[in-house]
Amino acid sequence: MKVYKFGGASVKDAAGVKNVALVLENQGFEQCLLVVSAMGKTTNALEKVVEYYFKKQDYHHEIEWIKNNHIEIAQGLFSENHPVFGEISLFFDDIDSFLRRNKSPNYNFVYDQVVSCGEMISSKILSEYLNEIQFFNHWLDARDYIKTDSNYREGIVNWQETEQNISQLDKINSYVTQGFIGSESNNFTVTLGREGSDYTAAIFAYCLNADEMTIWKDVPGVMTGDPRKFENVKLLSFISYEEAIEMAYYGASVIHPKTLQPLKQKNIPFYVKSFLEPGKPGTKVSNSTENESVESYILKENQILLNVETRDFSFIAEDHMSLIFTLLAKYKIKVSLMQNSAISLALCLEDKFGSVNDLNEALQKSFITQMTKNVSLFTVRNAALDQLDKFYKDKKVLLEQISKKTFQMVTA
């Protein structure tokens, strides 16, 4: 089987959905499992619904806007009386009635029940449209297959149960399912983290022992830098799983970092291709080492630099580290770079869940801290270490680090 993932950008409007069909026509749609994300910026809009709900502000306006967007897309794909219109309305009625009845004060739980609807609706529209044009497929509810713990907003996959469920699928058929979502033991929805649809595709590919997996993007493949941020970037035609996981880890957002590990484990060939030029080869990620020493650039914006210092001029020792990392885990804050000296520890952080102020307060009970928000982390992979000067130009460098193949700087 082959597993394809189409992200939000590829299905942002009716023309996008029609283009998915063109890609499938070009590539063949036999024994194919399609994973699809929410359409366009739907996930951001649904996040707003949850935010307004908890702030006790009017969220109906936002729901109505998202609903109209989807109806407009469906109008470009189906005839007036198609049952899909009723199904779309039902999804939005469900969100509304869930929020009206909800008693849970748990933001992350409510978030997952609401935000997951973006993928439910997009997968329904795509599946119905493909069936309509004779690309026959079965629609799957990914929550019946991908089982997780109850870590809402960043579910940890229960691989044993998930593999057992997915292995039941008949590999003769083609399927359309949702990215980003699974469910916990009580069958409540759990999302896998923002941008998690690439990861979903890798979970299915792993459990199906897929022959290949492709994620279809709005770029020609993995490039030496994000073309939105860097000039003169080039396509990397071949990269190893290791290089891809490093790039994704440092912030090359073209691939979700969790995607690589399951694929590497089973050596499943993995392609990143353009949905605008499906005939082009794109990037092949495998055990190859062909492009291994090409310099590539990654810019992660909106990071936080936190400097933690002992109060009594004592060394930063193991017990301090242990406390600091326990708090980082508690507040679900990711460390993208760290550097320690005798009495201080500098951390470049990513605050996915808006909890860095709480972390800072907790740390201040034991340490002196200094926090600088809105910094950038610039990473160069395979950097030519004798030619680093060019990177310092016009930058206010707050921290820098060189390891074997990677040069990093935190800039204001």
Residues of this chain that bind ligand ADP (CB under 6 A): 7-10, 37, 195, 217-219, 222-223, 225-226, 228, 252-254
DSSP-based three-state secondary structure for 110: helix
Task: Tell me the window of 100-108, 193-201, 314-322, 393-401 that interacts with ligand ASP (CB under 6 A).
Answer: 193-201
Q: Which does 194 bind (CB under 5 to 8 A by kind): ligand ASP, Mg ion, ligand ADP, none?
A: ligand ASP
Residue 103: other Cβ atoms inside 10 A: 4
Q: Which does 38 bind (CB under 5 to 8 A by kind): ligand ASP, Mg ion, ligand ADP, none?
A: ligand ASP
Task: Tell me the window of 14-22, 134-142, 191-199, 340-348 that interacts with ligand ASP (CB under 6 A).
Answer: 191-199
Residue 87: other Cβ atoms inside 10 A: 15
Q: Which does 180 bind (CB under 5 to 8 A by kind): ligand ADP, Mg ion, ligand ASP, none?
A: ligand ASP
Q: Which does 225 bind (CB under 5 to 8 A by kind): Mg ion, ligand ADP, ligand ASP, none?
A: ligand ADP
CA distance 340 to 317: 10
Give contact residues for Mg ion (rule: CB under 5 A): 7, 195
**Cβ proximity to ligand ASP, 44 vs 265, nearer residue:** 44
Min separation Cβ 35 and ligand ASP, Å = 9
**Cβ proximity to Mg ion, 8 vs 399, nearer residue:** 8
**Cβ proximity to ligand ASP, 118 vs 282, nearer residue:** 118
Yes or no: say if 309 and 346 are a contact pair by the CB < 8 Å rule: no
Q: Tokens for 168?
A: 């039941």
Binding to ligand ASP by residue 221, rule CB under 6 A?
no
> Of these, 62, 112, 128, 195, which contacts ligand ASP (CB under 6 A)?
195
Yes or no: say if 387 and 380 are a contact pair by the CB < 8 Å rule: no
Nearest one of 341, 408, 378, 352 to 154, comparing CA atoms: 352
Min separation Cβ 256 and ligand ASP, Å = 7
Residue that is written with structure tokens 């299915």 in the block: 204
Yes or no: say if 374 and 356 are a contact pair by the CB < 8 Å rule: no
Binding to ligand ASP by residue 194, rule CB under 6 A?
yes
- x/- letters, 283..312, toward ligand ASP (CB under 6 A): ------------------------------
CA within 13 Å, CB half, 365 = 7
**Cβ proximity to ligand ASP, 4 vs 180, nearer residue:** 180
Min separation Cβ 220 and ligand ADP, Å = 8
**Cβ proximity to ligand ASP, 259 vs 291, nearer residue:** 259
β-strand partners of 2: 32, 212
Q: Which does 252 bind (CB under 5 to 8 A by kind): ligand ASP, ligand ADP, Mg ion, none?
A: ligand ADP
Phi, psi of 89 (to 5 degrees): -60, -40
Q: Tokens for 91?
A: 């999804």
Long-range contacts from 401-406, C-beta under 8 angstroms, 24+ separation: 401/337, 401/339, 405/246, 405/381, 406/246, 406/250, 406/379, 406/380, 406/381
- x/- letters, 23..52, toward ligand ASP (CB under 6 A): --------------xx----x---------
- Can you spell out the DSSP letters for 219-249? SSSSBSS-TTT-SS--B-SEEEHHHHHHHHH
Binding to ligand ASP by residue 111, rule CB under 6 A?
no
